[in-house]
Amino acid sequence: MTANIQSVGIVGAGQMGSGIAHVCALAGYDVILTDVSGDRLKASLATINGNMAKQVAKKLITEDERKAGLSRIKSAETYDALTGCDLVIESAVEKEDTKRKLFTELCASLKPEAIVATNTSSISITRLAASTDRPERFIGIHFMNPVPLMELVEVIRGIATDDATFEASKAFVNKLGKKIAVSEDFPAFIVNRILLPMINEAIYTLYEGVGNVEAIDTAMRLGAHHPMGPLELADFIGLDTCLSVMQVLHEGLADSKYRPCPLLVKYVEAGWLGRKTQRGFYDYRGEKPVPTR
């Protein structure tokens, strides 16, 4: 029996949580977006509204679809609001201890048959599942950033994930109009296992003085036809997130090729995390981004 998902809860109203709420609401799901911060919830709803308006302007959706989508999203500051949800997706900070604590608290508020998913980009699904009361109904559903634009979703089973949960999760992703890549539960899955070491290597190339920020990004944009240079992309993802994924790879696979570049560590220690802090490999405080090296 495949569970029929109609209502979706989302924990965490940051960039990813907002994007997931956006696509779920447009696909016809009732969405409850939760966050401990009321201000973040307000900002998130404003972002979703603005992004849907852009889609209307580009004729990707109609004004009626935008209004209907927005009307399906409710916000709340506690997990109690999620009791009726069929699927709850966690999209909190990429730190394992934070996520485990969150799942222990969250599951107490959910109905027994609810599926719990994590949007983690790198952490073991099996380990996270073990911190819940329902490992067989736990799964990884990893969206790419920015969610409304990116076509791919990685679906990752933990060792205990049952077939019904796997099938229901795939049906859910299909209904969002996204393509699925099924990944085994290895550190960083498929996309980040390949992408983040490339970004880390670009940072080593900068660190070792092979090229400056501009040369490296231009080389990969024009020489490999990447839409964004690796350092520009690192700033977009967030250098703290890049570092945490590299640490997961390094610890989880114990291979020196995944060692985070010391320059990446230094930028994170400085609080230069990329676009979200206005400074990373580029300085975003002026008219246009200026390389910091």
| Contact criterion met (CB below 8 Å) for 123 and 103 | no
Is 124 known to be catalytic?
A: no
Active-site residue, selected from the candidate residues 90, 94, 154, 232: 154
Return d(Cα 217, Cα 290) in angstroms, integer. 13
Exposure string over 206-231, b if 16+ CB within 10 A, otherwise e: beeeeeebeebbebbeeeeeeeebbb
Q: Which of the residues 7, 119, 121, 169 is marked catalytic? A: 121
Residue 67 dihedral angles phi and psi, to the nearest 5° = -60, -45
Among the options 44, 124, 192, 200, which is catalytic?
A: 192
Active site residue 192: yes
Where helices occur in the chain by DSSP H, the ranges are: 15-26, 38-57, 63-71, 96-107, 125-129, 163-175, 191-207, 213-223, 230-237, 239-253, 262-269
Is 22 tagged catalytic?
no
Decide if 5 contacts 29 (C-beta within 8 A): yes
The C-alpha atoms of residue 256 and residue 261 are separated, in whole angstroms, by: 11
Q: Which of 142, 169, 200, 232 is catalytic?
A: 142
Q: Which residues are catalytic, by number?
A: 121, 142, 154, 192
